[in-house]
Structure 1
Amino acid sequence: MQLTGSRSGRNKARPEGLAERIYLQLKDDIFSFRMLPGDKFSENEIAERMDVSRTPVRQALFWLEREGYVEVFFRSGWQVRPFDFEYFEQLYDLRIVLELEAVKRLCTMDVTPEPLFALQSFWIDEPRLEDGQEVSRFDEEFHMALVAAAGNGEMAKIHRDLTEKIRIIRRLDFTKDARVNATYSEHASILLAIMQRQTQEAQRQLQDHIAVSKAEVRKITLHMLHQARPEDEADTPSS
């Protein structure tokens, strides 16, 4: 299992800042498939690779455990938490509820919120991006911007947290060119329906759009996960 980290010398940062750096790096390794669901590892391995002591590593891992990304086995070390497909489907159901309500509120506004014009510029007017992972990032921003523009800060916060929890699934979805092209077309249709205050049509298109991504969850296999690992790390064995 490949982990990334600095070998440029023992990090002298304060413990809290060091643990946070390790936490962010490990989370990125998980989201980028350098660490796959089910991969096992030890605190010593991460400490060695990142050239730090075990104390900030342990703190970072407990943060990740609390968020549901890793789990600990006291006799055999740690592992990246395997996919729980029912859990992801429940998150998608919640996502649909939040975003449909946001669209309903946007369609009843007298004035179109400014963020929607920025979304229109990116998804309709500007040239399309081709890199799937880059499009995945902008796809997240599209949906978060819709919810934020609806004006309920607490709803937007819950949606942001939800977005991070399903990020790993969405990144797998965007490894396919067809999904990239469909995302552009579907986002454009959703935006136009909202701007034309077509509430039911906008909600229908949004629900269909999310349902396709949700359906991909059940198609994910271990083979797909290994294919998603960066090529220069694909042959690196897990510990």
Structure 2
Amino acid sequence: MQTPGKIRYSSVQDSVYTALRDSIINLNLAPGTVVSEKEIAQRFEVSRTPVREAFIHLSKEGLVEVIPQKETRVSLIDLGRVDQEFFLRESLETAVLGLFIGKASRAAFAELNDLLELQAGALKKHSFIDFINYDDRFHQIFFEAADQALSWELLGSMSGHYHRVRMLTIWISGIADERVKQHHTILKALKRKDLEKARKALYEHLHNLNSEEALIRGKFPDYFVPEKEKNSYNVDFGGLPKMS
């Protein structure tokens, strides 16, 4: 059985981890930012141990890089990892739509409608973090109604790089408005129980990110892992010697 002390320590550690992770994925801590264990401990008024544990957890998610005896910094966005996180998201969400259509209640559809209004309101106020949170909740309902909450939790814990790219895209004029329109299209198909159209709309909704990656990389080059440079030592000296 856990003692009160252990419960409190776990709560502190979780709080520090959650606050740091939220700051990273919402870009309050920009990619490449050096983070100090000591300074964060002072800010949260905790010992350095829960901060150190949070760094370890975040490093496993690829959100911070810990360089022993040197520094810890927020990781740059890795588009290779974004592609893998995107693949996971697309695979699970495409599969869950069929289950959603078979199980969704009126309450689920009512909340989806409300979220579209909340997204539009957040967009007018330029409340981009709220906009993304409502966006996430919109998709989360599909998983909850389909009794697949575990899959949603997996996506949440494995989508830090993908989330940061999504945050960057909505800073660009017009993209967020299109997101809301696409949500309307998805919801309309789901109400009609048209799985094929719902999946097609979802595919278009998710795949917009592919065309937007080059745009945001051009606008925020310092936020991304540099493209691999050509290996100057990979020299062709004419191939194998000819056999006589």
TM-score by length of structure 1 reads 0.76
Read off the aligned partner of 2:113 and give its amino acid letter. Answer: Q
Match of 1:202 among 181, 198, 202: 198
Aligned ranges 1:173-188 → 2 under 5 Å: 173-188=169-184
Match of 2:116 among 117, 123, 148: 123
- May I ask how many residue pairs the two structures share in their alignment? 214
Structure 1 unaligned residues grouped into runs of 5+: 1-12, 228-239
Residue matched to 2:238: none
Read off the aligned partner of 2:181 and give its amino acid letter. Answer: S
Residue matched to 1:74: 68
Match of 2:135 among 139, 154, 161: 139
Take 1:125 and 1:48, find their aligned partners in 2: how far apart are those partners? 36
Match of 1:87 among 81, 90, 93: 81
Structure 2 unaligned residues grouped into runs of 5+: 1-6, 224-244
Structure with the greater alpha carbon radius of gyration: 2
Matched position secondary structure for 1:71: strand
The answer to whether residue 148 in structure 2 is matched with residue 152 in structure 1 is: yes
Take 1:40 and 1:174, find their aligned partners in 2: how far apart are those partners? 25
Residue matched to 1:26: 20
Q: Identity percentage over the alignment?
A: 24
TM-score by length of structure 2 reads 0.74
Q: 1:92, 1:214 within 8 Å by CA — same for their partners in 2?
A: no
Residue matched to 2:216: 220
- Which deviates further from its counterpart, 211-220 or 200-209? 211-220
Match of 1:45 among 39, 43, 47: 39
The answer to whether residue 107 in structure 2 is matched with residue 114 in structure 1 is: yes
Take 2:205 and 2:72, find their aligned partners in 1: how far apart are those partners? 36
Matched position secondary structure for 1:68: coil
Matched position secondary structure for 2:171: coil
What RMSD over aligned residues (CA atoms) do the two structures have, in Å?
A: 3.0
1:112 to partner: Cα distance: 4.9
The answer to whether residue 42 in structure 2 is matched with residue 56 in structure 1 is: no
Take 1:110 and 1:38, find their aligned partners in 2: how far apart are those partners? 44
When residues 17 and 105 of structure 1 are mapped into structure 2, their CA distance, relative to the original with a 3 A threshold, is closer
Matched position secondary structure for 1:38: coil
When residues 125 and 92 of structure 1 are mapped into structure 2, their CA distance, relative to the original with a 3 A threshold, is closer
**Partner deviation per Cα, 1:111-141 (whole Å, 9 max, x = no partner):** 6553122212432699643223321110111
When residues 41 and 152 of structure 1 are mapped into structure 2, their CA distance, relative to the original with a 3 A threshold, is closer
Residue matched to 2:231: none
